[in-house]
Amino acid sequence: MIIGPLSLGLADVFLRIEKGEPVSVEVLLSGFNDFARSLVAGLLISLYVFLWSLLLIFPGIIAALGYSMTFFIMKENPALSATDAMRASQQMMMGHKARLFEMLFSFIGWILLGIISFGIAFLWVGPYMDAAMVLFYRDLQADNQTYGFVKEAPVYRER
Amino acid sequence: MGSDEIRARAREIMAPYWGVTAVIYLVYLALYTGASSLFYVEFG
């Protein structure tokens, strides 16, 4: 029930970090302000990934990669419905799933560190991976400007 | 951008945020595991 709102809040946190804005726990909880839409997205993504996983594990992974940009798109496009954001994510990820998988797989050492530290290291590994995800999202936007409802990428800033 | 470049840039943008995001992740994981536990107690 709360995975959708929490995921939307987490997407907001990392979109703000990418812009250099301050973040707090309130930002994480901001997903609950858009409860219905984020709930629908969370439930549908969980359902679709589960159903694809029944075929074997790989279709489930491919589906999860395809929907991975949904909450970033929803946060930047408040007028977009949950299903449209999911469709936009699928379109955006077309031809890029292997690249995202490769990027996430490159965190394997950090994930193992998280496991052997009884999950404590995940408090830093998780944000690290989410920051990489938001940068991947920006990279996709810069690569592919064909989707009218997905905001254009901001000009790359050096800090 | 390649994986290495994205990871390097991720570390760069995260530099001022490691502390606050660890707290945010702790809250996220607490809420998520709490809600999952409740779900399994009710429907599991």
pLDDT of residue A146: 47
pLDDT of residue A145: 61
Quickly count: other Cβ atoms within 10 Å of residue B14's Cβ.
19
Q: Please name the residue of chain B whose CA is at the shortest distance from the CA of residue A131.
A: B10
* Measured CA angle at A114 (ends A109, A118), to 5 deg: 145
SS in 3 state form for chain A? CCHHHHHHHHHHHHHHHHHCCCCCHHHHHHHHHHHHHHHHHHHHHHHHHHHHHHHCHHHHHHHHHHCCCHHHHHHHCCCCCHHHHHHHHHHHHCCCHHHHHHHHHCCHHHHHHHHHCCCCCHHHHHHHHHHHHHHHHHHHHHHCCCCCCCCCCCCCCCC
pLDDT of residue A119: 87
> For residues B16 and A36, what is the distance between their CA atoms, to the nearest angstrom?
33
* 3-state DSSP assignment of residue B44: coil
pLDDT of residue A120: 92
In 3D space, the residue among A6, A36, A23, A71 whose CA is nearest the CA of residue B28 turns out to be A6
Residues on chain A touching B22 (C-beta within 8 angstroms) = 123-124, 127
Contact yes or no for B28 and A6 at CB 8 A: yes
A33-61 tens-digit pLDDT: 999 999 999 999 999 999 888 887 888 89
Q: Which residues of chain B, if any, have pLDDT below 70?
A: 44
What sign has the CA pseudo-torsion A75, A79, A85, A88? Answer: negative
A59-72 tens-digit pLDDT: 889 999 999 999 99
pLDDT of residue A6: 93
Residues on chain A touching B23 (C-beta within 8 angstroms) = 25
List chain A pLDDT tens, one digit each, 159 residues. Answer: 788 999 999 999 999 999 999 999 999 999 899 999 999 999 999 999 998 888 878 888 999 999 999 999 999 999 999 999 999 999 999 989 999 999 999 999 999 999 999 989 999 999 999 999 999 999 998 876 645 445 544 444 444
Q: Please name the residue of chain A whose CA is at the shortest distance from the CA of residue B17.
A: A17
Closest by Cβ to A17, choosing from B13, B23, B26: B13
